Amino acid sequence: MNEHVSCPTPAEAPVDRPNSKKVFIKTYGCQMNVYDSVRMGDALASEGYVTTEEMGEADLVLLNTCHIREKAAEKVYSALGRLRDMKKARAAEGREFLIGVAGCVAQAEGEEIVRRAPSVDVVIGPQTYHRLPEALRKARAGKAVVDTEYAVEDKFAHLPATEKAGIRARGVTAFLTVQEGCDKFCTFCVVPYTRGSEVSRPVQQILDEAKRLTESGVREITLLGQNVNAWRAAGPNGADWGLADLLYRLAEIPGLARLRYTTSHPRDMDDRLIEAHRDLRSLMPYLHLPVQAGSDRILKAMNRRHTGAEYLRLIERIRNARPDIAMSGDFIVGFPGETDQDFEDTLKMVEEVNYASAFSFKYSTRPGTPGADLTDQVAEEIKAERLERLQALLLKQQADFAKSCIGKTIDLLLEKPGRMPGQVIGRSPWLQSVNVDAKTSQIGEIIRVRIIGTGPNSLFAEPAESLIGA
């Protein structure tokens, strides 16, 4: 999955209760980690914890970590050093202060975290966080708990259902994990080693969670997976279902107005999923489909198992099915052995696809991956120059796409109040942030607006009804 900037603690949990314990969850990385943080909060609610956005008032701090980027582990250890000092201060006051490390760094580092940071009470992997309450109970007995074994049981079946009040507090959009792990083994990626092999959640479990979310006011759900379009499970009639079948079924849930999914692999983008983009109006016309590089030689070295031409033909088929679709992607520059010509092939790929948005990074070695053992590493200054050129092209394409929206009348899902008085922020079908003057009582509604301008990272619109008679 594409990496995002460090995310804040999950949105407000159920209403604070007198004498309740408080947990601060710092979330790093992708959307799946955001979802996991929310579910860890759900699991801790049974222990009397409520989430807080103020670390200073927390009784428990959890770092939900990501291992995708360079020096991820060192950043965690740096944060743990600061938390150690907070723990000493709390101990002097006779107050409990527990520290936990969760997520992919926890999975990769395991016992090493406790060895280097003895103040840590719990280390728990992404497949075992449903056992977090039990781990905390054991940690209070005085010994750090490290639980990073891949769980035999289904963690989702053991997590408590989110209370409706908690869902409503989080807003009108929600993430829903349907698939975890990856079997592709791209040579640059740690996911198969930290999240394990591909596992798909059962159909009914997903439908039940989606219905709970919708009944609590959620209007848009984004299905998550490290390789979400590899999702496979038995349908209600016993037949094998793919992601398209799941999307068709979710589209039937009353009140669920919008569907999205991320992140996909080109090799799992089948005909039926493309047809779903054609048929389902609730499936938004935005697709994140990473290619990583434009050079066939580098794609082979990355073990992507497709060529640049195959990717371009796939994009053409998708656009033929849904002409208004906006494409998003991921790119890595400076993979070992990348030549000037290989990089030019990537630029050519970007120009041919014309992305509405994209994420791009310099290659960094991840310990334990095949790419880390390659000897023909690209110099940092060359990586930096190439990344600057690539990002300039991608930013221009993103700006051009935003400008192409001016004058369009679109459906806008209103999500939250804006910074300016009378302003509400929503999301366009293409996942852009849109500012519009509207009543805050309309949050959760989908209104017709006309795009009238662009900003650095958002669009501006006016209600379509204000145009009547203009």
**Could you tell me which residues are annotated as the binding site for [4Fe-4S] cluster?**
30, 66, 104, 182, 186, 189
Count CB neighbours of 90 within 10 A: 15
Closest CA to 13 of 47, 49, 46: 49
Closest CA to 177 of 127, 218, 223: 223
Q: Do the strands 433-437 and 423-427 form a parallel or antiparallel pair, or are they unpaired?
A: antiparallel
Closest CA to 36 of 120, 137, 106: 106
For residues 304 and 227, give the distance between their C-alpha atoms in angstroms, rounded to a whole number: 13
Three-state DSSP class for 134? helix
Written as six digits, the tokens of 181 are 């792990």
Bridge partner list, 448: 411
Output Rg (C-alpha) for the chain, integer angstroms: 23
For residues 338 and 300, give the distance between their C-alpha atoms in angstroms, rounded to a whole number: 12
Sign of the Cα torsion 418, 458, 261, 244 reads positive
For residues 47 and 31, give the distance between their C-alpha atoms in angstroms, rounded to a whole number: 25
Written as six digits, the tokens of 367 are 């310990």
Please work out, in degrees rounded to the nearest 5, the angle formed at the alpha carbon of residue 46 by the alpha carbons of 145 and 169. 115
- Cβ atoms of 241 and 188 within 8 Å: the answer is no
Exposed/middle/buried for residue 445 (C-beta within 10 Å: 0-12, 13-18, 19+): middle
For residues 190 and 206, give the distance between their C-alpha atoms in angstroms, rounded to a whole number: 26
Closest CA to 187 of 366, 376, 337: 366
Written as six digits, the tokens of 11 are 């949105």
- Cβ atoms of 333 and 360 within 8 Å: the answer is yes
Annotated binding-site positions? 30, 66, 104, 182, 186, 189
Beta-carbon-side half-sphere exposure of residue 192 (alpha carbons within 13 Å): 12
Written as six digits, the tokens of 49 are 């914890």
